[in-house]
Chains A and B, each alone.
Chain A
């Protein structure tokens, strides 16, 4: 096999067959190995979480991850946010002609490792190859299925008054790591993407309380957008304390230098959890030592997020108006 992807790798012929096999062996499992047109799934229970996403990140390799790991973790985390246990995922590569085969191998290897860690099986997949210039190296599309089996209340998009908001760690690392890598800014910052699955933390969180109303991973648009969306869908107000939002000094400094607001920068390994206040400290403890209680839900200023600044003043945290950083995930 030549060391570059050619259009023939996507034309349905022998080369494609070989490439599909090469990838299949990486993710090898009973369902996938059947190689039918569709995967046959045995799913426990009757309530499923189903989610889809596409990954166009640039660069495809970045500090802390790559497009393969990102695709798995992104899919897994979306399912987890419904309180579901991720089981199966699809994986479709759209590849620009000329991509080194070794690069595809590296990405497939990351998918393999990330899916193993997150306990999700790749059960169906696809490869398309497009002419050079039609896209930038490689895009990935996934869908994921999980089963909702926890005993708590329905986890959706509606928070309730007095819910406490907990975050599992420091913000804005993914977006800043991508920017630093893509624009070759040359900051020797050691900032890495936080890209990872949230299985364990979400699992502990669900085990600690049956009174979680919303979970959300603040990816594109960052923490500020996730909070705004929940304030709107709940038709309630949200209050956040600036000093309780965890952020690493290096990330904050880079945001200051570049003029970015870290509250709007993407995360790929963080989630916020809205929980009844009586369970708040229990859930915070369950999530782990990096978790912080950063705010609460209120009945006034409906559909708005208010931020209490470090000096005790206040301001609105509005929706993101223009794109701070394109192609971060």
Chain B
């Protein structure tokens, strides 16, 4: 790779996006190295339809909708969960899935639905909670399974004609569970250098350096630059738990559309916990938010600065799209840290 040619690296994970912005890393990199953000913020990639479903279910009598904090404010087609809370519906912020199960235990007359989002990092803990709920014979605890798998999305981006990515800064936390092996197929097939990177400032520089070295030497390997947490084979216990509760299914991603085999659905043995099956609701026809570029931002095609709404109409106070809401969202990072 010539020294001065443009190099475009994608940090897949939202935690990386925030860490890069917070430390001001972009300003210290040579001008020809561009970092673009990827689809690794679970709040941001949740489809509008999935939010609409949560909103409709929360209208049902005796339902308590439990959600992780950032999800509260993400706009669906008509309003957000926060808006529902203001109208008096019972929406609660939880910090873990076990909190939601405890709410169910404390409110036997209510039906507690957890708005489940997240990647391989989060979903094993939710699987463990569902196993626990089954063991305790919980009758009033349900999951809206909007969990996603990162590799199908990575593959979609690696093969995309719209964006040419020279290498991936791969997510550290997800890789603790998955290990490095699943990246190998993508790295080889699409010739994308991939480095699993930690979240400290030095970690990120190290990740970038290793990617540049690979690009210079025309290599496309998977490296672990976060060995203190990530092992090649990952955490097989967590994956076993995950597999015992969930099976792979298609899933809709904001910006990327439906990606085959990129989501997790509850297995038949756990269908009594499946909120989508139990609570049949009619979802409004989704309208794309006019002017919002979150979809393009999530694919690294556009920067928040290309968006006409950014900082003018869309602010953290009045977010139009999810990337401005989430504490890991690209637009929020650009807004807060310039």
A interface residues with partner B (beta carbon < 8 Å): 183, 185, 258-259, 261, 309-316, 318, 321-322
Contact = CB atoms under 8 A, between A and B. Distances in A.
Given A316-B338, A318-B336, A311 B25 contact: yes
B188 interface: no
Contacts of B27: 313-314
Contacts of B316: 321-322
A183 B25 contact: no
Contact of B337 (A259, A311, A316): A316
Nearest to A308: B24
Contacts of B337: 315-316
A309 B202 CA distance: 13
29 contacts: A183-B95, A259-B18, A259-B327, A259-B328, A309-B22, A309-B23, A309-B24, A309-B201, A310-B201, A311-B24, A311-B25, A311-B28, A311-B201, A313-B23, A313-B24, A313-B25, A313-B27, A313-B28, A314-B24, A314-B27, A315-B21, A315-B22, A315-B338, A318-B335, A318-B338, A321-B315, A322-B73, A322-B316, A322-B317
Interface in B235-251: none
Contacts of B328: 259
A240 to B, nearest CB: 13
A100 B318 CA distance: 41
Nearest to A242: B23
B127 to A, nearest CB: 20
Contacts of A315: 21-22, 24, 337-338
A261 B336 CA distance: 11
A312 B317 CA distance: 30
Main secondary structure of the interface of B (DSSP, over half): helix
Interface of B: 18, 21-25, 27-28, 73, 95, 201, 315-317, 327-328, 335-338
A255 B335 CA distance: 20
A185 B24 contact: no
Which of B24, B25, B28, B337 has the most A CB atoms < 10 Å from its CB?
B24
B303 to A, nearest CB: 16
B72 to A, nearest CB: 11
Contacts of B22: 261, 309, 315
Which 4 A-B residue pairings sit nearest by Cβ, starting from the closest? A313-B24, A321-B316, A259-B327, A309-B24
Nearest to B102: A184
A322 B316 CA distance: 6
A313 B73 CA distance: 32
A314 to B, nearest CB: 6
A322 B73 CA distance: 11
Contacts of A261: 22
A313 B18 CA distance: 15
B338 to A, nearest CB: 5
Most buried by B among A185, A258, A311, A312: A311
A259 B95 CA distance: 11
A180 B73 CA distance: 22
A59 to B, nearest CB: 16
Contacts of A318: 335-336, 338
A258 B336 CA distance: 17
A221 to B, nearest CB: 14
A188 B18 CA distance: 26
A249 to B, nearest CB: 13
B241 to A, nearest CB: 21
A318 B22 CA distance: 12
Of A185, A259, A310, most buried by chain B (CB within 10 Å of CB) is A259
A211 B61 CA distance: 63
Contacts of B24: 309, 311, 313-315
A155 B338 CA distance: 33
A28 to B, nearest CB: 43
Given A185-B95, A322-B316, A312 B336 contact: no
Nearest to B199: A256
A194 B71 CA distance: 31
A36 B104 CA distance: 52
Nearest to A183: B95
Contacts of A183: 95
A316 B21 CA distance: 10
B337 to A, nearest CB: 5
A311 B23 contact: yes
A14 to B, nearest CB: 39
A173 to B, nearest CB: 19
Given A313-B23, A315-B22, 7 more contacts: A183-B95, A309-B23, A310-B23, A311-B23, A313-B24, A313-B27, A313-B28
B276 to A, nearest CB: 27
Contacts of A312: 28
Contacts of A310: 23, 201
